[in-house]
Amino acid sequence: MIKSKRWLMACLVLASCGFTATTSPEASLKKVFKNDFLMGAALNGKQASGKDPEATAIITQHFNTISPENVLKWEAIHPQPEKYNFGPADAYVAFGRQHNMFTVGHTLVWHSQTPDWVFEDAHGKAAGKALLQQRMAEHINTVAGRYKGQIGGWDVVNEALNDDGTLRQSKWYTIIGEDYLAQAYQLARKADPKAELYYNDYNLWKPAKREGALRLVRSLQAKGLKVDGIGMQGHWGLESPSIAQIEESIVAFSKVGKVMITELDIDVLPNPSNRNGADIDATFAFDEKYNVYTNGLPEEVQQKLARRYADIFALFHKHREKIARVTFWGVTDADSWLNNWPIKGRTSYPLLFDRTYQPKPALDAVLKSVSKSSSSQ
């Protein structure tokens, strides 16, 4: 018996005995990490409206916070100048309220998935500074104001930085100037003073971009603006970034506010040009050599994915006092945006549940990662 227990502990620490896809019906991510951080998933429109009961079962069992994949992005909720489409967003917020979940708003100001008319005048030419400022104010007042007291935290500005840490030359920047950032946070705070306000971006493990995010948040905070924390998008691969690189950013960002791990998924497929991050404009034509697991994920890769998740969550547990929330970008592999990025039509496997709503070995790995973390400290 003693030998058996020692062997089990060694397996947990080294993940050398492999992970299984079977978990007890009582197993729950939100219960395992209840004293550490919130556990979340991004919902698509069907899930947010309660029309995917199998997904609802997973969501309510495992998660206590939700993010919207698309329903609160500008093109979805405000498609035309005088038209708002509140139905899907209302359903999303109602889902969170019904299940007593911390509900995240994503996102108020972003260069992508924002209709062209936002940046144009009545004649189709580039909008002037005053007009774009007016539109930003009206949008934030209307959307954040509508869900005042119902959305707990907003990704106010999303992906405003280049990988070298400089500000992205988006239309927000080129028309309004750098001050658009401060204005966005000022407007969001006025619309809902009690909501937490975040900055969210990808590739924040890169040193130059990390420093750029720190400069940005500190400069906003120095102006007296409310920025409660930084969302580190976890669009990572099986080997990159390293655990050390992720850890360096968690520690650095904890010095300016809360740290959120957002949009977590692990891409197991080969990537054209070895691209990383989440620039949705960086797409490629379909090529079978980048779609190699159409008939299912080989067991060797399943275990590699599980070990990767085990290592990542052991790190998160180590820094649980710094991390407020960990959110997966999707519920099952079938929902993942990685099926269509950077190449449309791929069969991707980045999450903890497969296309039939069944747990993968990666779920077992995450549930056991607390023991792994505790044993290594």
Q: Which residue segment(s) compose the domain that 144 sits in? A: 20-376
The percentage of the chain sitting over the pLDDT mark of 90, rounded to a whole number, equals: 82
State the pLDDT at residue 208: 98
State the pLDDT at residue 333: 97
In a domain, 123, yes or no: yes
State the pLDDT at residue 13: 43
State the pLDDT at residue 341: 74
Confirm whether 263 is a catalytic residue. yes
Q: What is the pTM of this model?
A: 0.91
* Of residues 238 and 290, more confidently modeled: 238
State the pLDDT at residue 293: 87
In a domain, 202, yes or no: yes
In a domain, 234, yes or no: yes
pLDDT tens digits, 155-210:
999 999 999 999 999 999 999 999 999 999 999 999 999 999 999 999 999 999 99
In a domain, 12, yes or no: no
State the pLDDT at residue 281: 55
In a domain, 298, yes or no: yes
Residue 328 three-state SS: strand
Q: CB-based burial of residue 353 (10 Å sphere; 0-12 exposed, 13-18 middle, 19+ buried)?
A: buried
Q: Which residue among 263, 288, 299, 321 is the active-site one?
A: 263
User: Within the chain, how many helices (H) and strands (E) appear?
Assistant: 13, 8
> Using 50, 70 and 90 to split pLDDT, how confident is the model at 278?
low
Q: What is the mean pLDDT of residues 14-18?
A: 53
**CA–CA separation, 308 and 300 (whole Å):** 12
**CA–CA separation, 121 and 131 (whole Å):** 8
Q: Which residue among 75, 82, 159, 239 is the active-site one?
A: 159
Residue 368 three-state SS: helix
pLDDT at 3 exceeding the cut of 70: no
What secondary structure letter does DSSP report for 296?
-
In a domain, 11, yes or no: no
State the pLDDT at residue 332: 98
Confirm whether 288 is a catalytic residue. no
What secondary structure letter does DSSP report for 116?
G
Rg (alpha carbons) of the chain, rounded to whole number: 21
* Of residues 239 and 288, more confidently modeled: 239
Cβ(134)–Cβ(82) under 8 Å? no
Mean pLDDT of the chain: 91
In a domain, 8, yes or no: no
**CA–CA separation, 234 and 264 (whole Å):** 4
> Using 50, 70 and 90 to split pLDDT, how confident is the model at 53?
very high
CA 51 to chain centre: 22
**What would the DSSP string read from start to end of 52-104?**
-HHHHHHHHHH-SEEEESSTTSHHHH--BTTB---HHHHHHHHHHHHTT-EEE
> Using 50, 70 and 90 to split pLDDT, how confident is the model at 284?
low
Total domains in the chain come to: 1
The CATH number covering residue 118 comes to: 3.20.20.80
To which residue do tokens 């080997």 refer?
239
In a domain, 15, yes or no: no
Q: How far is CA 129 from CA 176, 187, 247, 266, 288, in A?
A: 5, 16, 39, 39, 45
